Amino acid sequence: MRDPTRIIDDRDEANGLGRDLLRAGRGQTLSARDRAQVWAELSATLVAPAASAAASAGATKALTSASLLKGVVVAVALSGGALVGVRAARRPAPEVVPVVVTEPSRAAPAIEPPPPVTSPTPAPDRAPHVRRAPAAGEEAAVPRLPASRLAAEAQLVLDARRDLREGNPASALRRLETARPELVGGALAQEREALTIEALDRSGQTEAAARRARAFLRAYPRSPHAASVSTFARDR
Amino acid sequence: MTLAEIYDQHVDFVWRCLRRQGVPPDDAADAIQEVFLAVHRTLKTFEGRSALPTWLFTICRSVARDRRERAHRRHEVPSAERLGDVDERADASARLEHNARLSLLETILSAMEPDLRDVFVLYEIEDMTGEEIGQALSVPLGTVYSRLQVARAAFKREVVRIEAAEARAEERIEGRPMTRAGGRA
Taking only the tens place, the pLDDT of each residue in A20-60 is: 899 999 888 888 888 888 888 888 777 655 555 555 554 43
Examine the predicted complex and report whether its ipTM is higher than 0.85: no
Our count of domains for chain B comes to 3
Q: What average pLDDT does the segment B6-26 reach?
A: 89
The CATH number of A148-233, from 3.40.50.300, 1.25.40.10, 1.10.3720.10, 3.40.50.2000, is 1.25.40.10
Identify the band that residue A168 occupies on the pLDDT scale cut at 50, 70 and 90: very high
Q: What is the pLDDT of residue B176?
A: 62
| Structural domain boundaries enclosing B133 | 112-185
| In a shared domain, residues B102 and B119 | no
Contact A21, A59 (CB under 8 A): no
Strand partners, B184: B178
- Could you say which of B33, B102, B111 has the minimum Cβ distance to residue A38? B33
The phi, psi pair for A221, rounded to 5°, reads -65, -25
- For chain B, give percent helix, strand, coil, nearest 5: 70, 0, 25
Domain of B43, CATH number, reads 1.10.1740.10
Residues B138-173, buried b or exposed e (16+ Cβ, 10 A)? ebeeebbbebbeebbebbbebbeebbebbeebeeee
Residue of B97, B155, B173 to mutate for A, most A C-beta atoms under 10 A: B97
Put simply, the answer to whether B51 touches A29 (Cβ < 8 Å) is: no
Regarding whether B14 and B43 lie in a shared domain, the answer is: yes
Q: Which of B1, B26, B159, B184 to mutate to test the interface with A (most CBs of A within 10 A)?
A: B159
Task: Say if residue B51 is in the same domain as residue B75.
Answer: yes
Considering the domain architecture, whether residues B39 and B64 belong to the same structural domain is answered as yes
Measured distance CA(B124)–CA(B158) in Å, rounded: 16
Taking CA atoms, what residue in B is nearest to A105?
A: B8
Q: Worst-scoring range by mean pLDDT, A10-24, A111-125, B40-54?
A: A111-125
Cα–Cα distance between A110 and B74 in angstroms, integer? 38
Residues A193-221, mean pLDDT to the nearest whole number: 91
Are B1 and B75 contained in the same domain? Answer: yes
Query: According to CATH, where is 1.25.40.10 located in chain A?
Result: 148-233
- Over residues B165-172, mean pLDDT: 75
Rounded to an integer, the average pLDDT of A68-76 is: 36
Using the Cβ of B80 and the Cβ atoms of chain A, whether some distance falls under 8 Å is answered with yes
3-state DSSP assignment of residue A138: coil
Q: Are B37 and B60 within one domain?
A: yes
Stretch A93-115: mean pLDDT, rounded?
41
Q: Distance between CA A155 and CA A176 in Å, rounded?
A: 11
Facing A18 at nearest CB: one of B127, B142, B159: B159
Which of A6, A23, A28 best tests the B interface by mutation, with the highest count of B CBs <10 A? A28
Percent of chain B with pLDDT over 70: 79
Q: Are residues B73 and B88 in the same domain?
A: no
Whole-Å CA distances, B153 to B23, B146, B147, B149, B156: 26, 11, 10, 6, 5
Taking contacts as CB-CB distances below 8 angstroms, the residues of chain B near A28 are: 12, 16, 83, 85, 102
pLDDT score, position B104: 84
Residues B70, B7: one domain? yes
